[in-house]
Amino acid sequence: MTTQQQHHAELLEHKAKLAPPPFWSVVLLNDDFTPMDFVVDVLMKFFNIREEHATRIMLQVHTEGRGKCGTYPKDIAATKVAQVSEYAREHQHPLQCIMEVEK
């Protein structure tokens, strides 16, 4: 095997080891103070979810303590978390929004 062929083989092996970056879930957490209609509004406004689906997610947050809003690359997920958190603070609600790496 020539040096060039060996180098090419090493590059292919290195590329095969690289995994795509993980996606992140954006999750809303339940609290006892944020109105349900505000949660639906957040889901529609920041995640482009239709009202019926947003209502289902809101009910999941209410009954199970958490609800997944969507899955995104890390930078987009972080932006969504920041936007939702700021919007909730501006409206004086303690709604928490977090991101978790997809498993």
3 lies in some domain: no
5 lies in some domain: no
Residue from 91, 95, 93, 92 nearest 57 by CA = 95
Q: How many domains does the chain have?
A: 1
Say if CB 94 and CB 18 are below 8 A apart.
Answer: no
1 lies in some domain: no
Share of the chain above pLDDT 70, in %: 88
CATH number assigned to the domain comprising residue 83: 3.30.1390.10
10 lies in some domain: no
Tokens linked to 91: 């409206």
In which residue are the tokens 């954006």 written?
26
6 lies in some domain: no
Domain region containing 26: 20-101
**Global pTM value:** 0.82
57 lies in some domain: yes
Measured CA to CA in angstroms, residue 63 lies from 3, 29, 37, 42 at distances of 63, 11, 15, 18
What confidence tens digit (pLDDT) does each residue in 21-39 have?
899 999 999 999 999 999 9
15 lies in some domain: no
User: What is the amino acid identity at position 50?
Assistant: R
